[in-house]
Structure 1
Amino acid sequence: MSGSQTENAALTTALAFHYQVLIGLDKCFSLEDGQSIWFEKDGDVSLISSDALTSIQTEVKDYAAPLTDHHENLWKTLKNWLDPAFDHTQYGVLVLHTTQAFGATTRLKDWNTQSEEQRLEVIKTIFAERTEEQLNAEKPSQIIKLQKAVMAADKLLLKSVLGKVILFTQSDSAQELEKQILSQPLGIPKNNLKSYLDGLIGFVYAQANQQSWSIKHQEFSAKCEELTALFCKKEFTFPVFSGYAASEPDIELHEYRPFVQKIAEIEHHEMIPDAVGNWLELQNSLLEELDESALYKDKTISYQNQLVKKYKLAYSSAQLEATDTIKSAKLLYNKTIGEQPLNLGNDIPPIEYKNGLIHDAMDDEERDLKWKVGP
């Protein structure tokens, strides 16, 4: 049972963090020249501008329970913004961004239209509900500790912070955020949108290092243009092939496949990792649900048939010229794998795609292809 709870807790934390990333990604679309989005700088998500008045610090909360007068999310966030380590003067706006709706009887509903004096009176009134027994308990609850810390803050500092606070409630869920983000690009076919989103999310995560995690306006715009050019395709082009290098587990998992056995048969063992990597990358590309999936599969079948015809001719020549079975087979392998791809219309396929198709053909027992030459 304890193991299950730990796993669930870890998953909840991971999902909450991913939600924070989606909030930051969504804000990237509103960036202007010179602005940037930072994660974990002064809190969850920060929009940094040269002008502090237009800089925004956002604390992100993904909660189902309503936002009530005594909810920890409000008071913990206020405490963090009052901490001496946090310089509120760097920001013109402080946002509590939460999926929560206001509680039915909360005094916070008019917060965003109130002055700093009125907001101070609201939290004073809420705090006044605490009894002496609650405040002076030997082991006060966490919310009591937070409220006492906020109310003990310097009054000028407290008013300054309260004046900047915006409560953004009932914000979009992660699924709704993804839909909103995907409403930004124009001209990308529907079936390519998930790949576009995955590309953006991957880009955001990739900007993190041990020192900082930020996305600049110019870098984000360039990435959007790159992904739009990739997925907003008018003519058929091939999916991206990166030259995947198979890991040891990959090789162990597939070492008994016919195409791997045929390479081992000619003692060309050092070529197996690249072969498995090319084969896996081909298989994965055929599983992608891109807008041109059907066309890609049809072209792939046709292209593989051309490669097989070419290979059979090369194999026949190798048989005629063979003097050393293993050496001749290795030379045939090297020449075949090293050859540049055949043109397919006006497009030149990636070499990994070509080689993946050759290994796939070797894996097809009905084709009866092999590398070994001679008797």
Structure 2
Amino acid sequence: MGKLTNDATKLLEAISYQLIVTLEYCHNLIEGQALWLEVYGDVTVGGKAQIEVKNFVDDLTDGHINFWNTLKNWTSSKFKQEKYCELILLTTQAYGATAELRHWNQLTVGDRLALLDNVLKHSEARTAASGKKESKVVQIQQFVMAEERREILLDVIGKVRIVSDEPSLVVRAEEAKSRYGKGLDPSKRGDYFEALLGYLIEPCISKDGWKITYDDFDIKIATLFARYCKNSRKFPVVDLTSLKGLVDESAYADRLFVKKLHEIKYAEKIPAAILEHMVAVQTISSEFKRFTVEKLDVDSYKNDQLKRHISLRSGAIKQCRRLSKEYWCEESQIFFDNRCGEPVDGMPAFDGTTVDFRNGIWHMLADDEDEEGNERLHWRLW
């Protein structure tokens, strides 16, 4: 499939790359610090650093527009360079073979100014020789080197550090998952990583604009670790959205737990029952594998649920028999609703067992045939 004329892939890659860099700097925050995303620049660490992030393939040469445009932004009257101890150009670009910029981080302020001045002179000479109009990059160079900005420029270039030849988007993402995924269940590192990136781009609902504080980030990490760490006590959450698309009533028409809802003329509850059944099955077959949950633990939970249900149903049957038979179906529906609205009995070793899982366990039990002298789970009160 060919790309559209105005394909935005590169823009999305650049945004993704910036978010991963932002995530790295969030982990570097110390108590009391805050970080801003796309407010004062690409990434800003309050009182410490301004980071411009560039995800480019071509070489970083002395006259490259990425470098000079970054200097232009930092020497602009709107930018308060005095607020930062360091100005960082972080780029995936490697230095060109003849680039003097490769020595930038080791040069004095005077040597840096001389390098910039030399680049401008060569650019203007080439433009004059060609007879063409000054290119955009030459105009940017002239803006940066203008005499009226010299004092600001000297302050800026004294703080500039170039971080070049950084990993590609894919490599950086994988390294971030590994670096910040310590202590997590390996199968859930991707989910944890995506949740953190989602937190960074979350609209200004739960955060103060695009500001991320040490305390907020600390709480977010603690919350996600509780869910995704190895042997977490947080009950595993199944993606209901993806499961809802798989609910097919016709495929479950012959299942006993579905027939038992038809038995009390409560067909409208069947789609939800199927979804809950799917949640319980997936949790047991997939999610519990990440934890020290043995079959015995699940069987014990199911057995406890069945015993309680049989006892409550027995009492409800006695109440129902006092009414005419014409009300038995409706009373059975009320019994079903009341049961589904009860507080959830927690699974041992977990906090926050979900209603969907608990109800799904009931539907699994309702899917079992009665045995001689051993009645299974029913909703009918007769």
TM over 0.5: yes
- CA RMSD after TM alignment: 4.1
- State the TM-score, normalizing by the size of structure 2: 0.75
More displaced stretch, 38-47 vs 179-188: 179-188
Change beyond 3 A, Cα 1:245–1:137: same
How many angstroms apart in 2 are the aligned matches of 1:6 and 1:260?
Answer: 51
Structure 1 SS opposite 2:212: strand
Aligned residues of 1:101 and 1:169 also touching (Cα < 8 A): yes
Q: In the alignment, what sits opposite 1:109?
A: 102
SS across alignment from 2:29: coil
Q: Is the 8 A contact 1:99 1:171 kept in 2?
A: yes
Cα deviation 1:329-371 (Å, max 9, x = unaligned): 3113113312334454465733332013334566x5989x997
2:211 aligns to what?
Answer: 214
Query: Does the 8 Å CA contact 1:304/1:357 hold for their aligned counterparts?
Result: yes
After alignment, is 212-221 or 170-179 more displaced? 170-179
Q: 1:307 to 1:291 in 2, by over 3 A?
A: closer
Distance 1:352 1:283 in 2: 11
In structure 1, C-alpha distance between the alignment counterparts of 2:309 and 2:86, rounded to whole Å: 66
Aligned counterpart, 2:373: none
Task: Provide the C-alpha distance between the structure 1 equivalents of 2:159 and 2:285, rounded to a whole number of angstroms.
Answer: 49
Alignment correspondent of 2:193: 197
Instruction: Give yes or no for contact 1:62–1:100 (8 Å, CA) kept in 2.
Output: yes
Residue in 2 aligned with 1:183?
A: 179
Indicate the residue corresponding to 2:168 in structure 1.
173
* Match status 1:354 vs 2:358: yes
Amino acid at match of 1:227: L
Q: Which amino acid aligns with 2:137?
A: I
2:141 is aligned with 1:147: yes
- 2:85 is aligned to 92
Aligned partner of 2:8 among 3, 10, 13: 10
Which one-letter code corresponds to 1:14 in the other structure? L
Structure 1 stretches of 5 or more lacking a match?
50-54
Q: Distance in 2 between matches of 1:183 and 1:293?
A: 22
Greater shift in the superposed pair: 204-213 or 93-102? 204-213
- Partners of 1:261 and 1:231 in 2: how far apart? 37
Distance in 1 (alpha carbons) for counterparts of 2:240 and 2:279: 9
SS at match of 1:118: helix
TM, length-normalised to structure 1: 0.76
* Contact 1:68 1:102 survives alignment (8 Å): yes
The answer to whether the Cα contact below 8 Å between 2:263 and 2:380 also exists between their aligned partners in 1 is no
Q: Give the conservation status (yes or no) of the 8 Å contact 1:262–1:371.
A: yes
Instruction: Give the 3-state SS of the residue equivalent to 2:67 in structure 1.
Output: helix
Q: Distance in 2 between matches of 1:144 and 1:296?
A: 69
Distance in 2 (CA, whole Å) between partners of 1:60 and 1:165 is: 13
Taking the aligned partners of 1:29 and 1:339, their CA distance within structure 2 comes to: 41
Alpha-carbon distance in structure 1 between the residues aligned to 2:145 and 2:177: 39
Q: How much identity, in percent, do the aligned residues show?
A: 27
Q: C-alpha distance in 2, partners of 1:109/1:246?
A: 50
- TM alignment of 1:14-163, pairs within 5 A: 14-49=12-47, 55-130=48-123, 131-133=126-128, 137-138=132-133, 140-152=134-146, 154-163=149-158
The count of residues paired between Structure 1 and Structure 2 equals 363
Give the secondary structure class of the aligned counterpart of 1:65.
coil
Query: 3-state SS of the aligned residue for 1:218?
Result: helix
Contact 2:185–2:228 (Cα < 8 Å) also in 1: yes
Contact 2:226 2:233 (C-alpha < 8 Å) held by counterparts: no
| Residue aligning to 1:52 | none
Measured in 2, the distance between the counterparts of 1:190 and 1:58 equals 31
**Alpha-carbon distance in 2 for matches of 1:220, 1:365:** 47
Where 1:109 maps in the other structure, the secondary structure is helix
Per-residue CA deviation, residues 42-98 of structure 1 (Å, 9 max, x unaligned), is 11100003xxxxx10001112222212232211221122122222211212111101
Output one character per residue of 1:259-304: Cα deviation in whole Å (capped at 9) or x when no partner: 7897688565776786576456546646866762583777546644
CA distance in 2 between partners of 1:187 and 1:346 (Å)? 18
Q: Specify every segment of 5 or more residues in structure 2 that has no aligned partner in the other structure, as ranges.
A: 371-375
> Relative to structure 2, which stretch is displaced further, 35-44 or 278-287?
278-287
Change (3 A) 1:269 1:164: farther
2:341 to 338, 343, 351: 338
